[in-house]
């Protein structure tokens, strides 16, 4: 099979969408098929790859790390004409996604789309809730022609179905349990983060942006530090428009910035607890990565996080906007190390149930079905 992927975000950016896309490219290639990518160009350039078309992009003013690509239709169309894909998989609803969608429909090539980002809730978090009905109207228009629309959560799938996106299926909530595993724990990393082996290390991983509910995180961490003192150390991994604000509010927290996947795996495994207050996750891949690394998660009882974290087994779910509830959960797991380790071991076992390999087999079978190609699950499994 020949699969064309179109996305408004891709490597070297680090986010949930790019993680899933890189998985898809690897799974397609490992099974002996072809994966071609249309994606933004980023500063610094990229190694030339005949199976990638990189489109010039500019920073998005409110959030410069996000790039907006120019919808160069002719250039993209020529590339797709040369690839002659059996399936076009559009991963984002931005300018490049619109062009990829249009090419697939105009050329009668099966279209698969993905819904990774909860834009309707983002509208609320960016104080533009009045736009939410228009956002849903746009999303319904964008996704309805697709043979399949991937989304990583059951709750999000139900929302898509309710808004007329009738071919939504749950896919994309697998975690690489080989890469993220407790064996990556490193004493040197713990010393760098905490300065002492007895200190409990609490981490947050993700974009430092309003949709991640970080005002609640900052208040919870401030109160938890006051309650626990030197028994606990806090670290933020990621970057975004709230980076300076969080540094000002949490000057004692280690701000790590963006890290590569190897460093991220070591960070998770070297920590003791992950806190995620976001209300807008469609999956909560960060929670699954932390769980695969053998640490429990304190998370918002909302969105995809409540589907990934099992309350009282692999972590604790709390009301999303109640900082006192986060404090109680953090303190509970800090002062009860046996319980924390039991949750961490259970988290690893739960993550193994979400390993990426069965999902990759399922993906190739889906591509084969929508394109009318022979089944390909056997070649992937081999």
User: Using CA atoms in the order 83, 32, 358, 369, what is the torsion angle rounded to 10 degrees?
Assistant: 50
pLDDT classification of 15: cutoffs 50, 70, 90? confident
Residue 380 pLDDT: 35
Burial pattern 218-245, b for ≥16 Cβ within 10 A else e, equals bbbbbbbbeebeeebbbbbbbbbebbee
- Tally Cβ neighbours within 10 Å of residue 78: 12
204 contacts 274 by C-beta, under 8 angstroms: yes
Total-model pTM: 0.87
pLDDT digits over 24-35, tens only?
Answer: 999 999 999 999
pLDDT of residue 377: 44
Chain segment 277-298, per-residue pLDDT in tens = 998 888 889 999 999 999 999 9
Could you tell me the pLDDT band of residue 132, with boundaries at 50, 70 and 90? confident
Residue 122 pLDDT? 61
pLDDT surpassing 70 at residue 126? no
Q: Where are the alpha helices (DSSP H) in the chain?
A: 16-30, 73-83, 95-106, 119-125, 132-143, 154-162, 187-194, 214-228, 243-249, 261-270, 285-292, 305-308, 323-335, 337-352, 356-371, 377-381
Closest to 125 (Cα-Cα) out of 199, 214, 204: 214
Q: What is the mean pLDDT of residues 207-222?
A: 94
Which tokens hold the place of 321? 């906007």
Q: Which residues pair with 37 in a beta bridge?
A: 5, 52
Res 149 pLDDT > 90: yes
Lowest mean pLDDT among 60-69, 70-79, 99-108, 317-326: 60-69
- pLDDT above 90 coverage of the chain, percent: 75
Q: How far apart are CA 193 and CA 201, in angstroms?
A: 7
Give the number of C-alpha atoms closer than 13 A to the C-alpha of residue 154, restricted to the C-beta side.
Answer: 3
pLDDT of residue 240: 87
Q: Which residue segments constitute the domains of the chain, with CATH numbers given?
A: 2-174+355-381 (3.40.50.2000), 182-352 (3.40.50.2000)
Beta bridge partners of 68: 58
Dihedral pair phi/psi, residue 54, rounded to 5°: -100, 125
In the chain, % of residues over pLDDT 70: 93
- Report the pLDDT averaged over residues 135-154: 94
Q: How do beta strands 232-237 and 297-300 pair?
A: unpaired
pLDDT over 60 at 179, yes or no: yes
pLDDT computed for residue 379 by the predictor: 38
Mean pLDDT computed over every residue of the chain: 91
Q: Is the pLDDT assigned to residue 184 strictly greater than 50?
A: yes
Backbone angles phi, psi at 169, to 5 degrees: -135, 150
Position 127 confidence tier, pLDDT thresholds 50, 70, 90: low
The residue with tokens 């799974």 is 27
Instruction: Kindly report, residue by residue over 229-276, the tens digit of the pLDDT.
Output: 989 999 999 988 899 999 999 999 999 998 888 999 999 999 999 999
What totals of helices (H) and strands (E) does the chain contain, helices first? 16, 15
pLDDT in the model for residue 382: 30
Say what the pLDDT of residue 201 is. 97
C-alpha separations of 357 from 194, 204, 262, 314 in Å: 35, 27, 19, 22
Mean pLDDT of 205-209: 91
């Amino acid at each position: 099979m020949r699969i064309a992927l179109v996305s408004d975000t891709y490597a070297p950016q680090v986010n949930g969408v790019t993680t899933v896309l890189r998985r898809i490219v690897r799974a397609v290639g490992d099974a002996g098929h072809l994966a071609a990518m249309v994606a933004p160009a980023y500063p610094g350039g990229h190694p030339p790859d005949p199976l990638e078309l990189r489109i010039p992009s500019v920073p998005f003013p409110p959030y410069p790390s996000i790039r907006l690509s120019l919808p160069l239709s002719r250039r993209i169309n020529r590339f797709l004409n040369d690839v002659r894909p059996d399936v076009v998989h559009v991963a984002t609803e931005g300018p490049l996604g619109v062009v990829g969608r249009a090419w697939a429909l105009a050329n009668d090539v099966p279209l698969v789309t993905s819904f990774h980002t909860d834009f309707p809730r983002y509208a609320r978090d960016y104080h533009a809730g009045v736009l939410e009905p228009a956002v849903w109207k746009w999303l319904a228009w964008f996704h309805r022609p697709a043979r399949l629309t991937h989304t990583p959560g059951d709750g999000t799938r139900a929302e898509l179905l309710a808004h007329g996106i009738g071919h939504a299926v749950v896919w994309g909530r697998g975690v690489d349990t080989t890469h993220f595993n407790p064996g990556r724990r490193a004493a040197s990393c713990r010393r760098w983060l905490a300065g002492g082996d007895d200190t409990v290390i609490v981490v947050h991983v993700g974009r430092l942006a309003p949709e991640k509910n970080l005002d609640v995180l900052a208040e919870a961490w401030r109160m938890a530090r006051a309650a626990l003192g030197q028994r606990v150390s806090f670290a933020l991994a990621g970057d975004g428009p709230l980076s300076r604000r969080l540094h000002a509010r949490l000057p004692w927290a280690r701000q790590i910035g963006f890290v590569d996947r190897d460093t991220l795996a070591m960070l998770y495994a070297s920590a003791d607890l992950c806190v995620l207050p976001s209300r807008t996750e469609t999956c909560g891949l960060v929670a699954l990565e932390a769980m695969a690394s053998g640490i429990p998660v304190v998370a918002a009882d909302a969105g995809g996080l409540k589907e990934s974290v099992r309350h009282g087994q692999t972590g604790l779910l709390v009301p999303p906007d109640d900082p006192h509830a986060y404090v109680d959960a953090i303190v509970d797991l800090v002062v009860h190390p046996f319980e924390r380790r039991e949750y961490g071991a259970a988290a690893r076992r739960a993550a193994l149930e979400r390993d990426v390999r069965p999902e990759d087999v399922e993906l190739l079978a889906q591509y084969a079905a929508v394109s009318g190609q022979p089944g390909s699950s056997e070649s992937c499994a081999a």
